[in-house]
Amino acid sequence: MASEELASKLQRRLQWEEGDRGLQPAPGAAPDPEPQPQSQPPAWAPTARADAELSAQLNRRLDINEGAARPRRCKVFHPYSEFPEFSRRLIKDLESMFKLYDAGRDGFIDLMELKLMMEKLGAPQTHLGLKSMIKEVDEDFDGKLSFREFLLIFHKAAAGELQEDSGLMALAKLSEIDVALEGVKGAKDFFEAKVQALSCASKFEAELKAEQDERKREEEKRKVRQAAFQELKAAFSA
């Protein structure tokens, strides 16, 4: 019974396909009341999807070229692992500087905030110059600087990837942090300090351990103060 039902379905399917090709069903074949919908997508579906994906990529590339592309979601940014040549203290100091000029407190430095930064650093730029500065490190094409892109400026400067007379090089040079205070081996020059940090493989671990030791010392001091307070409290209660 099952085999006869399967044979009947196969025959109807064959007749339906022949009908699509403009052929007549075989004489004596049972008429097919209604063709059943296909469980699989038509053969042209993968091609259509590929065309749609290609079209979307081309449209995004056009938007990027015209400056109208919407930023895509990025992975979580870990500055210490992505910029191992920078010490932890240096990254924190650069983060403080970034937040100082992030007047909107939105996690970005836009064109007007960059304009104010360059003016305060003593290297004012034209409107086109500011746009060019952002474009050089603007990885997500959103027209503003994230903290990662801000660090990328100093990375490129240290690697010699910036033009000597460019706005970004002026920003990197004029915003140098006193490395003698921030603790990168007491170097006098900002870029020399970063080269020295590269040659010190365990520097990150050493700084992390120093921070942990400092927290332990603070915790011990807190416990001593708490114990002294309890003793004083017990003396008054007696």
Same domain? For 201 and 132 the reply is no
Same domain? For 168 and 221 the reply is no
Within a domain: 224 = yes
Same domain? For 90 and 138 the reply is yes
Phi first, then psi: give them for residue 145, nearest 5 degrees.
Answer: -100, 125
- In order along its 238 residues, the chain shows pLDDT tens digits of 555 665 676 677 667 666 655 545 555 555 555 555 555 555 455 566 656 666 776 776 677 666 665 555 456 788 989 899 888 888 999 999 999 999 999 999 999 999 999 999 999 999 999 999 999 999 999 999 999 999 999 999 888 899 989 999 999 888 765 433 443 443 344 555 545 544 554 556 677 777 888 888 888 888 888 887 777 777 667 6
Same domain? For 148 and 224 the reply is no
Same domain? For 208 and 163 the reply is no
Same domain? For 166 and 86 the reply is yes
Within a domain: 72 = no
pLDDT computed for residue 129 by the predictor: 94
pLDDT computed for residue 183 by the predictor: 38
pLDDT computed for residue 19 by the predictor: 62
Within a domain: 64 = no
Amino acid at 116: L
The widest CA-to-CA distance across the chain, in whole angstroms, is 114
pLDDT computed for residue 234 by the predictor: 73
Q: Of 104, 110, 118, 116, nearest to 134 (Cα)?
A: 110
Same domain? For 153 and 213 the reply is no
> Which residues have C-beta within 8 Å of that of residue 57, sequence separation ≥ 6?
none
Within a domain: 53 = no
Same domain? For 207 and 154 the reply is no
Structural domain boundaries enclosing 213: 184-237
User: Number of folded domains in the chain?
Assistant: 2
Within a domain: 57 = no
pTM of this prediction exceeds 0.85:
no
Within a domain: 3 = no
pLDDT computed for residue 40 by the predictor: 55
Same domain? For 194 and 168 the reply is no
Among 174, 197, 222, where does a domain finish? Answer: 174
Instruction: Indicate which CATH number applies to the domain containing 149.
Output: 1.10.238.10
Same domain? For 161 and 206 the reply is no
Rounded CA gap, 19 and 6, in Å?
Answer: 20
Within a domain: 217 = yes
Rounded CA gap, 166 and 38, in Å?
Answer: 62
Q: Of 194, 199, 153, nearest to 175 (Cα)?
A: 153
Same domain? For 115 and 167 the reply is yes
pLDDT computed for residue 192 by the predictor: 56
93-108 as b/e: b if 16+ CB within 10 A: bbeeebeebbeeeeeb
Same domain? For 149 and 212 the reply is no
pLDDT computed for residue 168 by the predictor: 93
Within a domain: 48 = no
